[in-house]
Amino acid sequence: MEQAMEADTLELESFLPYRLYRLADAVSREFSRVYKDRHGLTRPEWRTLAGLGQHGTMTATALGEQSAMHKTKVSRAVAELERRRWLTRKPDEKDRRIEHLTLTGAGLAAYREMVPLAKAFERELLGRLSAEERMAIVSGVAALETALASG
């Protein structure tokens, strides 16, 4: 009977998807202190700022896909960054339902201020690991991304 119960039980602490989610959330929470302290940004606002800073002009749909955010989170983040005058919206010439989002000078300045802080955070995070562990996590994450992208 005990063996049957064990087969029907999922140990979350050793279940890789659960562990990856918890790890991603812990890293994201720790990094959020950087952009929250500096600019009072939420996670979706930071991800929107970072996406536009890296890629230039994007649509909300593209931002959602790039950052794995639901469209309502993207919409709220865009509205807040627009309220701060950190981004502008420009309707698509062919399809007025589509808006092209671009950082303003102030938004770009905030992004550029955050880039070295983000890179320093990543260096510090990876610095907690040995060189072998760093190589293993970077290659392991890349391998999982490739495996999942190919179906």
For the stretch 82-97, pLDDT in tens is: 999 999 999 999 998 8
d(CA 25, CA 4): 33
HSE of 122, CA atoms in CB hemisphere, 13 A = 9
Query: 151 falls in which pLDDT band (50, 70, 90)?
Result: confident
In order of start, what are the domains of the chain with their CATH numbers? Answer: 24-117 (1.10.10.10)
| 61 against 8, higher pLDDT | 61
